[in-house]
Each structure stands twice: as C-alpha cells, then as structure tokens.
Structure 1
Amino acid sequence: MARESIPKKIKEAVLDEYDHRCAVCAGDRPHLHHVNEDATDNDPMNLLPLCPNCHLRDQHNPTKKIDVGKLKLFRKYKDPTILKPQFHPIYERTLFLNEIEINDSNVAEIENRAKELIEFVASLEMGDFYSKRLNELVGPLKRVFVMALGGGPDPHYERQRKRANYDYREKISQNKDDVYSLIVELLRYQKW
C-alpha cells in the first residue's frame, strides 16, 4: 500500500511551528514523524519534525523506541525533558490517568496509584507545592457515608458509595490534562 503524503499546508504549518528544525535536537532537514505511527493520521498534533538521525535512532530502532504516550506529551508541551530517562518514573506513575473508565469499579486501585504519584512528586524539587496541587486534582474524595441502623443491607448507603466512586473517577478524568500540565511545569525545577 502506497503511503499517503502529508498535505503541503499541514506539513508547512508543523515545520513553521518548529522553525524547520528537529524537535529533539534542532538539527536540519527534519522529516515529519507520525507520533501514533499511523501514516494516514495527518493531524498536526500527530506530526513531529525529527532530523534524519533522531528519526532513525529514536523512532525506527526497535531496541530504543520512545513510548507513543511520551511523544504525544512532548508534541503537546514541547518540553525536551519529557524525552529524558529521568522523566520515565514520573510518566509511569501517570499512566493510570489514561486507563480510567467512568464505570470502572476498582476505585481503591485508582486511589492507590494517585497516592503513589502524589508521594513521588513530593520527593522532587518543589515537590511540596506540586504534590499539594496534585492532591487537589487526583487525591481521594472526602467521603462521609450515612448508614441506616439495623441489620440488613442499606440501599441508600450502597447508592452513596457508588455515587462517590463515580464522582472520583469523573474528577480524575476531568483533571487529567491539568495533571499533565502541572507535571510538565514541575520538570522545569528539576536539576537533571
């Protein structure tokens, strides 16, 4: 199957955005790499200019492939620290944000992963400030359940619990972009 060419208007817009330089090393003669590796997806946010060396070394070497999620973050925020190995432990702790489904029932696991991210960020430079903000964005909801007195199951309590779990998953889904923005901002303070 022949590869579709990128429309000239889109190609020029992406290259102009990066001053016709490689997004990673600022080298000459960049190729446009499809971040999600779908050559038919010519959305500008899916295109990243890479010089021939970066394109071959980082994208087409199966022993050193950059995670598509990291490339999407790099494309969105244009912070080269995202591609450094030091970012990987933070990135790994954010992956749960992309795996949450509103009707998923495993809230305890989501809370544990959010707590781990918050604690990890707290250990970094400027971590106290950023971990407090992350706690506001993805920390567990304050839950107070009222249970009826008596020995049988309480349907009102069960509805409260399900609603709180749903609200927590919804909160994380709505704040995902803010979490990534905050983490990318935090990278500026790291001495890597």
Structure 2
Amino acid sequence: MSDYPKHWKELAKTIKEKSDWCCQKCARVLRPDEKPQGRTYLQVHHWNRDPSDNRPENLVALCPKCHLSYHRGGKGNVSVGQLSLFDISKF
C-alpha cells in the first residue's frame, strides 16, 4: 500500500507547473514537451521525507540528479538498494 494519495499525478503536476518546470535546486528546466535526449523528467520531492505529507510547502520540484542527491545525502526515505537501480551517469 502506497503513502501517496490517489491524486498524486495531478498534485505533482501542479507543483511542477508552479516551478515553471524548473528544478528548484539547480534551475535546470525540464518541460515535458522539450525532453532532452533520453528520459529525464522533473520530479517532486517531499522535504520532510514523508510521502503522506502532501502540503504544498512540503513539496518541491527537482531534476532527477538533484532529487537523487538529496536521497543519497541521507535526507531521504530511499534505501541504498533502491538507489543502485538508478544510473546517475545519464543525469
């Protein structure tokens, strides 16, 4: 069972739109209609690492590289085993 709400896709899209499709850490722009080579998408991160806390002030738009850096820095709820699934050399 997921801690994410049923309307997560719509909520995440709203957060991305409010950021003007720009990573709030590095300022990289990742608009869905202007995908760079490969599959890189803007993601939404929970500042307090609680996926059930979907208050707008707890959510931030990040590029995959910045999002992963928060999780690798011990600031996330992703396990080391899950991180090994990502090939960060593509970011």
Q: State whether structure 2 residue 13 is matched by structure 1 residue 12.
A: yes
The one-letter code sitting in structure 2 at the alignment partner of 1:34 is H
Q: Deviations over 1:163-184 (max 9, x none)?
A: xxxxxxxxxxxxxxxxxxxxxx
Scaled by the length of structure 2, the TM-score of the pair is 0.57
In 2, distance between residues paired with 1:11 and 1:62? 23
1:47 is matched with 59
**Aligned partner of 2:47 among 18, 21, 35:** 35
CA drift at 1:62: 3.5
Match of 2:71 in 1: 60
* Structure 2 gaps, min length 5: 31-40, 77-91
Tell me the equivalent position of 1:2.
2
Distance 2:22 2:3 in 1: 23
Q: Report which of the two has the higher share of strand.
A: 2
Shift of the 12–49 alpha-carbon distance from structure 1 to 2, 3 Å rule, reads same
Q: How does 1:68-83 map to 2 (within 5 A)?
A: none
Q: Tell me how far apart the structure 1 counterparts of residues 16 and 48 of structure 2 sit (CA, whole Å).
A: 18
Q: How many residues align?
A: 63
Aligned ranges for residues 1-192 of structure 1 at < 5 Å? 1-5=1-5, 6=8, 8=10, 10-27=11-28, 28=30, 29-57=41-69, 59-62=70-73, 65=75
Higher relative contact order at CA 8 Å, sep ≥6: structure 1 or structure 2? 2
Matched-pair identity in % = 35
RMSD, aligned CA: 2.2
Which structure has the bigger radius of gyration?
1
Tell me how far 1:42 sits from its aligned partner. Answer: 1.0
Q: Which runs of 5+ in 1 are unaligned?
A: 67-192
Q: CA deviation at 1:7?
A: 5.2
Q: Relative to total residues, which structure has the larger helix share, 1 or 2?
A: 1
Mapped partners of 1:37, 1:26: distance in 2: 22
**CA–CA distance in structure 1, aligned partners of residues 25 and 42 of structure 2:** 10
* C-alpha spacing 1:52/1:7, structure 2 compared with 1 (3 Å): closer
